Each structure stands twice: as structure tokens, then as C-alpha cells.
Chains A and B, each alone.
Chain A
């Protein structure tokens, strides 16, 4: 049985100019000990879908799903109180900006111990010991001293380590890391990614890594889910995704990487991600897709089978060539 199973998740925001669908029928499945990446550009709904799972969206959001199960609990039916017993203990999340997600008014130690106080029955001194152990586990030097430091006294890399320590405090079964290294330098990014994958291996927890960096994806995870304009367009093993992407968007995105370029002029994806008012009727990628035809512009595609990476496309690619077009014509 899967640890996390989400079917047909949609999130709508009520904005002053009408409803806006940020997440559109996304499925996410995470097994125990899994290492999944959700990749996409800004506006692809990758963060919003995970925030919906955590119940962290503002009241303007309407979340609907056919199924939203974590570890046997139906998250759609849980009361706020029951949900909060799971969130922060069994599922925890770290965010992009470590500086702004820590509370500046409390010490790092207080913030680590807060989740222990809420979710465990440890005594005061046990909490102190566990906090020191956590700080050591995430590689913060002189942990006893740093527990009484305020967030502004830590560097970006150290704050992110402190965030990870908070997230790990109750030994979660699932850790969601939302762009954990985007705000950091590459040498620090390498340290944090190493730390996260090491912890994932040691503790056996599952991890969902949200990122836009294809390099981070290639070096870190096992499975990749690609999102575009709120939809899941592809799901594959990491090696297969980079060797033989099945959705034209994935293929175009990989081709646009400077390090994969063969010529000086980089391949580009024309146009921009559709917004609230210019969502196409058919496939959402059709206005920018080089393979699109009349059917793509009119009909919404359905996901292909697992062999084709669940590609949300009428003519999923196989080694760079669209398939199924002959029969359709």
C-alpha cells in the first residue's frame, strides 16, 4: 500500500477576477522510502498541490480530490484538530526561504522543541537532548551553543539546516522539501542535498522534492513527476526521463538546458505559460508545442500508459518522435 495517495486533486482560488485553477486533476503517489521529485516552472502548481496536502492554503482556495489518503487516514474527512496531529509529526515540510520561515522572535532551540512539545510526551530534559541530537544530525557545529541562537545569527545554509532539524524532530514518514536549496549557493546546495538524501537513507522516510532545477533532479531522486500549468504531464524514472522524455514539454524543457545544447543558439520554447484568461481549450501545452495539430487544440488529452510515462498528450513522444499520429490522421 502506498504511503500517500492523491487522486484527481484540483485547487481553485477565488480571485477578484474570478476562479483560477492552480492545480488541475493531479495524481501523486508516494510509497514508503520513496524519493520523488515534482518539477515545473513557476505557475505549474507544484507547491500548491503539496500545500493543499498540508492544509496550509488560505481560505480563498477550494481543494477537491477523489482520494487523498496518507498512511490509512482519509485527509479529506479529518477535522482540523485530527489533521494537525498528523501534520508536523508524520508529514513535515521545509520551505525555500529558510530566513523567512523561521520565527525571528524565538531561538532556534525553542522552535525545534516546539514540535516535540506538541507531538510527543518527552520530558523537558529529554526534549533538550533530542534537540541537541537533531542539531548534530543536520551538521550544525557546537549544537548546545547554537540552540540558544536566534535565526538572524545564522547564515542561510545554517538556517536551512535548522529548518530540516525542526522537520525531522518527530521522525516523519514523509518529508516534503519545497525548493530547499534555491536560495543557497552551489557549494551549500551540495551540502544540503547530501544531508537530505543521507537522512532519507538512514531514516527510511519518503521524500518529495519540489524543484525547478533539472540538475538537482538528475543527481538526487529516483522518480520524477513533471507539471505544467497545474497538470501532471509526465511521470517517469529519472534515467528514462532524461534519456527518452515522452511529453513534448519535458523534451523541450530538457533541450533548453544550456549544458545539453549542441549549438551556440539554444533551442527555445516559444510563448509563455498560459494564465488565468488565456487557457487553451484543448491540451494546455498546444500553443507552444511543435507537434500540435487541430486535435491538440480542440480536445483535452488523457494520460498515456505507464510505458509512455503517463504522458498527458495525444501523441506521446518516443525517442523524439510523436506516436499515434498516423492512425489519427
Chain B
């Protein structure tokens, strides 16, 4: 196994919410202690409901925001609460692709300008001809035609725009690509084209992916490792097959069970989770999942469980639960 290109230890990101009329100030714990590593050529998928802190994680990893606590080591350089330096090379190493290809491209720039802009800003030593050449090469790499170079975003379909967004992210030759729900805005027939492109590029450029998604069937297809987060905390982490076939955390199991499978002969009994995700401003005492958990015990109400089990950095499987789903039960499901 090659050395990790990114190591995150106990990453936290809290926001101070100002008090308003009749409302005291509060702390919103959007991300509350995530540790993981990213390896070249591998994909770590982050799964969770909306409000679980998936996108906050993306913002911290791309250095858009510094972590409140904890540390990020990217290519040997440390990033702590003081924030990232204005080191261009460091920032070029991590790039991001957003969910909505309609909102993330500048409608007044041609595709060519969009692709050349990162070079113009970050690699001023590269002359105009070379910039142009690199942008055109990238265009063909993501499966677009040369004549697209001078067109504007509105002339493209959703899938093509997402290809442009991927191309732009790759212009600075990053080592890490953060994909924040890259296919959830796309139609099914287009989704598979973009997923194939992403897998193809990862292989060719040996990229590490942090793949954020709520669609478990996509995650199952593309991920190597999976991290399930709930209210900003990882609750289970491990290799894809273990997470999907033998989940130990009740939340992971409920999430799997709630996902509809495209097979009408297999209409299963679902584990029904009651209620909804609590606000990250008023996290429950003890285990954050306890108000919705069907395996809740006395201890869950007061003591927060630690991640236990194998070391996730070494491909192990770990989960944070006092009363995990027994192994034989998970195999049957």
C-alpha cells in the first residue's frame, strides 16, 4: 500500500451562532472529530444524511476553512486551526468538484477561459500558448470535443457541464480530488457516464478521492473505503465490502435498510428509524444516535462511545457503539 497523501486527525469544525432576539448564542458542531487518511488511487466515500457534516468536511479538506481543532497533514505539510498558508502548491494539491454543475461554472466565461483560469492565477510562469494547449488536452481527456473550447456553459447539458467541472479541477494536477455529490444532480443515464469518467481518471492520474454522497448504490460501486458520519462524527468506518455486507453500527444498518433496491422480488422489511436528525446545536447527551436507535441501552444515554475495532488507516473496520449489531445478525441481512 502506498503512503497516504492526506492524514486527518481528530478534525473539528465548530461555528459560533450569534444569539438573536430571545435566543442565546450557541455552538454548532458541524464536524466533531473525524480522523482518516487518503491514499493515491483509492476512494474514501463519506456517507450521511443532510446536516451530518459531509460538506463541512469537504470545505475543511479543501482548505476553504481551517479546522477549529485537530490537524490535517497534506503532502507532509501541517494545517491546523491557524489555517493554511497561502502556499499555492499546497492548495493546488486539493481540488473540488461541486454537486450542481449549473451553479459552479461562470456563465460569462467560455469553457476555454474556465479551464485556463486556474493556470493563469496559480502558474503565472506558464505562457499563453502552453496554457491553451493544456486546456485543450484536458478537454479531450474528459471526453469533450475540441469545438467545445469556445462555447459557454449554457450550451451544455448537465453531464457535459460536470465534465467541464472535473476538467477544471484537474488543471493544476492535484493529488486529491474532493467530489461533493458529483452525480446527484444528474439523470440516471448521464450519471453512469460521469462515474465511468471519474474512475477512468483516477486510474490514469493516480488520484486520491474523497467522495461525498448520500446515494449508497453509487458509493458501493465507486468506493474502496466508506466512512459513515452522523451529526458530525464518524460512527463506522472500514472497507466497502465490510460496511455494506456486515455493518455493526445500528445507524449504518438502518441506512442500508432504508435504501430502496431496484429489485421488486426483494421487498424487505425495513428497519424503521423514528424521528429525524437532531440539530447539531443541541446534540443529545451520550451517543449522538441514541434518540433514534432501536438497540439503545442505559449506557448510551450518558456515555459517548469511542471508535473501537481495527485501525481504519490500515484498512481495518471500526465503529462507535456500546451495543453493536451482532456479527451473525448482520450476515443474515
Chain A residues proximal to chain B, CB less than 8 Å = 41-42, 155, 157-158, 185-191, 193-194, 212-220, 238-239, 241-242, 252-254, 256-261, 264-269, 272-273
Contacts and interface: CB of A to CB of B under 8 A. Distances in A.
B220 A216 contact: no
Contacts of B276: 155, 157-158, 187-188
In order of increasing CB-CB distance, the 6 nearest A-B pairs are A215-B260, A258-B221, A190-B258, A266-B192, A41-B187, A269-B189
A268 B270 contact: no
B154 to A, nearest CB: 13
A318 to B, nearest CB: 19
Contacts of B258: 186-187, 189-190
B299 interface: no
Contacts of A265: 196, 199
A260 B276 CA distance: 30
Given A187-B273, A188-B276, A272-B159, A258 B267 contact: no
B255 interface: yes
12 contacts: A187-B255, A188-B49, A212-B187, A214-B188, A218-B267, A242-B263, A252-B189, A256-B188, A259-B262, A268-B192, A268-B193, A273-B187
* Residue in B214, B262, B267 whose Cβ sees the most chain A Cβ within 10 Å: B262
Nearest to A213: B260
B261 A41 contact: no
Interface string B212-243: 00101110111000000000000000000000
Interface string B249-270: 0000011011111111101001
A155 B277 CA distance: 10
Given A190-B270, A254-B262, A266 B188 contact: no
Contacts of A217: 262
A242 B273 contact: no
B189 A218 contact: no
Contact of A185 (B49, B191, B195): B49
Interface in B192-207: 192-193, 195-196, 199
Q: How large is the interface on B (under 10, 10 to 19, 20 to 34, 35 or more residues)?
A: 35 or more
Nearest to B251: A187
A41 B189 contact: yes
Given A41-B189, A185-B214, A266-B195, A272 B157 contact: yes
Contacts of A194: 270, 272
A131 B50 CA distance: 30
Most buried by B among A158, A217, A269: A269
A297 to B, nearest CB: 20
A86 B270 CA distance: 36
A269 B254 CA distance: 33
B140 to A, nearest CB: 17
Contacts of A257: 188, 217, 262
B190 interface: yes
B187 A259 contact: no
Nearest to B200: A265
A259 B220 contact: yes
Contact of A239 (B157, B195, B265, B272): B265
A206 B189 CA distance: 30
A191 B258 CA distance: 9
Contact of B218 (A42, A254, A258): A258
Given A190-B260, A273-B187, 15 more contacts: A41-B187, A41-B188, A186-B216, A187-B255, A188-B276, A214-B262, A217-B262, A218-B264, A238-B264, A239-B265, A253-B188, A257-B217, A258-B217, A268-B193, A272-B157
Contacts of B218: 258
A218 B214 CA distance: 19
A253 B249 CA distance: 33
Contacts of A264: 199, 221
Contacts of A253: 188-189
A155 B278 CA distance: 10
A155 B259 CA distance: 20
Contacts of B216: 186
A215 B192 contact: no
Question: A187, A218, A242, A268: which has the most chain B beta carbons within 10 Å?
Answer: A187
Interface string B23-60: 00000000000000000000000000110000000000
Given A256-B188, A259-B221, A185 B264 contact: no
B192 A219 contact: no
A42 B260 contact: no
